[in-house]
Amino acid sequence: MMRTKPLLAVALLAIGYPSFAVAQERLPADWEQKVSSVVKEPERARKVAEAGRKYEATWQASLDAMKKAQAEVKAAFRSQTSSVGDRQLSLSLLRDDRRKASLAAVDALLGVRYLMPKQEWKELWPQGFFTLVGPAPVLPGRIQTALPSVVSDPARLKQAEGVAATLAAAVKKNETARKKATGDFTKLLERYESRRDDFIDLVNALEESQMKSDNAVVGAAGDLQKVLSPEEWTALTNLLATVP
C-alpha cells in the first residue's frame, strides 16, 4: 500500500505560517533592571516587570502548544490509516491552536503596555525584539533537483517536473503571504497605538489565507504522489529526509 502524503506534505506544511506567539525572542536577562531604568516609580516598575514575565510564560506555553499540535499533524499525515478527513481535521486544529497561541501572547503583551505611557514603551524593548524572522523554504527546490535521479522514464519525469513546478509556485505564494503578514504583525507589536481588534483582524485574515495555502500545497503533493510509483515516491521521500 502506498504511503499517504507522509514526509513531503508534512515538511511542506511546516513551511507555512508559524505562530506569531512563538517566533519572538525571550526577555533580556536583565529584564527587571531594564524595567527599573525606564519606569521610575518602584511599584509600577514591579508591576511592569511581572507583566513582562507573564508575557514570557505565555510565550513558552504557546511554544509548547504549537509543538504538540505540529506533532499531531505529522502523526496524522504519516499514518497509513488516516483518512483525508482526518488529515484536514488535524490541519484545522493546528490553525486553531496557532490562532489561540498568537492571541494569548498578544493579550499578555498588551497587559504590559497598559501599565506604561508611550515613551516608556518605546524605551523598554530592545531594538528588533519584535522582528519575526522565519527560514526560507528550501524543499521545493530540493524536490525539483531530486526528481531526475528518482524517475527514469522521460515522459513521467516531465509530468512530475510539471507538478513539482506547481508545488513550488504554491509554496512561493505561501511564503510571500507569510512575509507580508509577519511584517504587518511586527508593526502592530511595535506600535503603541495598536488595538487588540487590529491583531484579531490580522490573525483571522492570516488563518483564512493559510487554510487555502494548506489545501493547495497538500493537493499538489498528492498530485505528485499520483505521478510517481510507490518505489519512486519512497526514494524521493528518502532523499528529502535530510531537508532541515
Highest mean pLDDT among 34-38, 75-79, 84-88, 239-243: 34-38
pTM passes above 0.75: no
Query: Which range has highest mean pLDDT (1-5, 8-12, 77-81, 145-149)?
Result: 145-149
Distance CA 26, CA 124 (A): 14
pLDDT number for residue 241? 62
Predicted confidence (pLDDT) per residue in 60-105, tens digit: 887 787 777 777 766 665 555 666 677 677 777 777 887 888 888 8
Question: Is the pLDDT reported for residue 142 higher than 70?
Answer: yes
